[in-house]
Amino acid sequence: MRISIIGAGYVGLVTGACFAELGHEVHLVEIDREKAGVIDRGIAPFYEPGLEALLKKHIHRTLAVSCEYQEITGSDCTFICVGTPPSPDGSADLRFIRSAAHSIGSALKEVRDPHTVVVKSTVPPGTTGAVVAPAVMEGSGRQDGSITFAMNPEFLREGRAVEDFFHPDRIVIGCSKDIACRKVASLYDGIDAPMVTTGLEAAEMIKYVSNAFLATKISFSNEIGNICKKLGIDVYEVMKGVGLDTRISPHFLNAGAGFGGSCFPKDVSALISLAESMGENPRILKSVMEVNDSQALRMVTMLESCIGDLCGKQVAVLGLAFKDDTDDVRDSRAIPVIQSLVDRGALVRAFDPIANEAMSRIFPGINYYGSAEEALTSADACLVMTEWPEFSQLDLEFDRMKSRVIIEGRRILSCRGKEGICW
Ligand SMILES: NC(=O)c1ccc[n+]([C@@H]2O[C@H](COP(=O)([O-])OP(=O)(O)OC[C@H]3O[C@@H](n4cnc5c(N)ncnc54)[C@H](O)[C@@H]3O)[C@@H](O)[C@H]2O)c1
């Protein structure tokens, strides 16, 4: 099939490259000219294992990129993969969705062929039917039912995104007309996964609820971890025993510095905001965010109890990305920690294997180093914020510090003399 994808960010580019690998003809429409230019040269504008290889394999063959919406006129369906960032009040900002939907409508004005518009971005229930569809219909001026709509939420994990595309736990397709559902389902031919078909709004809600539940597991584990630490019990032993219960599952029970990234914080906040707009008080969801907001900062409090006043102290921060295997720092737990260190007058010595540059756009005033060893040299203390597997090998490097004051926010180190946030 011929597929257009609006927005070549993490979701759009991975989806496009993987659909090309499945044998479809894909056109990416990306408004950021610089990003489109980079992709056109076969380079992934962000780090994602396996993505660049697919890009190089398909670009200028069955995968193309441009800034032009006119390119979608030759497609059978168009996926919307633009961002849905949080508004100041926590609700989802649908600006990019509205603008993309309007541009799709205008481009489809000139053609009469059937077309399916598929929302892949994470959007509040009702958005595809009440925001996207009217904007597309208004722009296109077509009222003959030849444009159909579907919602196909994305569940990929950054750092495992390509693998997740080809081996998903499930594929969710929401639509109002069967024909749209069958068309979208056929795009995934060759992928062995349960297919869940629902109405548009249920598909939109499935994504929010999945992320809210995973975030809840993390905050729950962190709260239990904080209690276990006081009791002198290893929370990882506890959660291993708990997670083997098939009703619970062993995933997302790792206590630590809390969740970050481009999805969990914003999606839980959007669900809270949605619930409140209808007069509900979502107490569990609010607690999930409250636990998360305070969790990472416990590391700074621990640090102060180890070395006292942080003013003028050199603190190495190892790991800046919100998780391993990505250079994405959006809502990384390293951000509130670094901010808190800076506010206390500490001198931050930061290192991440691939996210130094991304973090330097947020904190241009701190020092970045090319290796953990350099960041640790002469440091008064060290905070570990990301579970990069290579950190598990660190040991003698810590001897370069003034003293081995090491606090882990993720359970990754194997060396002696460390203290964990919850263990
Ligand atoms: N990143 C993830 O891990 C992930 C996982 C699942 C779902 N999602 C959801 O998918 C959506 C996209 O997330 P992302 O991380 O890929 O965002 P992103 O910011 O990385 O990418 C969005 C891209 O859309 C482009 N864009 C914006 N407006 C446009 C327009 N009108 N026309 C063409 N291009 C436009 C931007 O320039 C950007 O490159 C969000 O709703 C997000 O919540 C993200």
Cβ atoms of 158 and 10 closer than 8 Å: yes
Q: What is the pLDDT of residues 321-351, one digit of tens each?
A: 999 999 999 999 999 999 999 999 999 999 9
Residue 29 CB less than 6 A away from ligand 1: yes
Distance CA 306, CA 308 (A): 6
Neighbours of 264 (CB within 10 A): 23
Q: Extract the tokens encoding 390.
A: 């290579």
The residue with tokens 């569940």 is 155
Q: Would you name the residues annotated as active-site residues?
A: 263
Cβ atoms of 94 and 55 closer than 8 Å: no
Cβ atoms of 28 and 62 closer than 8 Å: no
- Best of 81, 132, 152, 324 for a ligand 1 pocket test (most atoms within 8 Å of beta carbon): 81
Compute the distance from residue 5 Cα to the ligand 1 centre, in Å: 11
Q: What is the pLDDT of residues 192-251, one digit of tens each?
A: 999 999 999 999 999 999 999 999 999 999 999 999 999 999 999 999 999 999 999 999
Contacts with 280 (C-beta within 8 Å, 6 or more apart), sequence order = none
To 5 degrees, how large is the angle CA 126–CA 99–CA 81?
Answer: 70
Q: Closest Cα to atom 20, ligand 1: which residue?
A: 9
pLDDT band at 176 (very low <50, low <70, confident <90, very high): confident
Distance CA 279, CA 281 (A): 7
Give the pLDDT mean for 55-71: 97
Residue 90 CB less than 6 A away from ligand 1: no
Q: What is the pTM of this model?
A: 0.96
Distance CA 401, CA 421 (A): 20
SS3 percent helix, strand, coil of the chain, rounded to 5, is 45, 15, 40
Q: What is the pLDDT of residues 126-154, one digit of tens each?
A: 999 999 999 999 999 988 889 999 999 99
Question: How much is the pLDDT for 217?
Answer: 98
Question: How much is the pLDDT for 272?
Answer: 98
Compute the distance from residue 30 Cα to the ligand 1 centre, in Å: 10
Cβ atoms of 107 and 73 closer than 8 Å: yes
Residue 82 CB less than 6 A away from ligand 1: yes
Distance CA 101, CA 27 (A): 16
Cβ atoms of 200 and 174 closer than 8 Å: yes
* Helix (H/G/I), strand (E/B), else coil: 80: strand
Residue 262 CB less than 6 A away from ligand 1: yes
Give the pLDDT mean for 294-319: 98
Compute the distance from residue 9 Cα to the ligand 1 centre, in Å: 5
Q: Extract the tokens encoding 79.
A: 């996926």
Give the pLDDT mean for 160-181: 96
pLDDT band at 274 (very low <50, low <70, confident <90, very high): very high
Burial label for 310, CB within 10 Å (0-12, 13-18, 19+), is: buried
Question: How much is the pLDDT for 329?
Answer: 98
Compute the distance from residue 264 Cα to the ligand 1 centre, in Å: 15
Question: How much is the pLDDT for 97?
Answer: 98
Q: Extract the tokens encoding 107.
A: 């481009």
Q: Give the type of residue at 22.
A: L
Distance CA 212, CA 289 (A): 10
To the nearest 10°, report the CA torsion of 121, 117, 148, 110. 150
Residue 326 CB less than 6 A away from ligand 1: no
Question: How much is the pLDDT for 189?
Answer: 96
Structural domains present in the chain? 2-198 (3.40.50.720), 208-294 (3.40.50.720), 296-420 (3.40.50.720)
In DSSP notation, 83-100 reads --PBPTTSSB--HHHHHH
The residue with tokens 């971890």 is 225
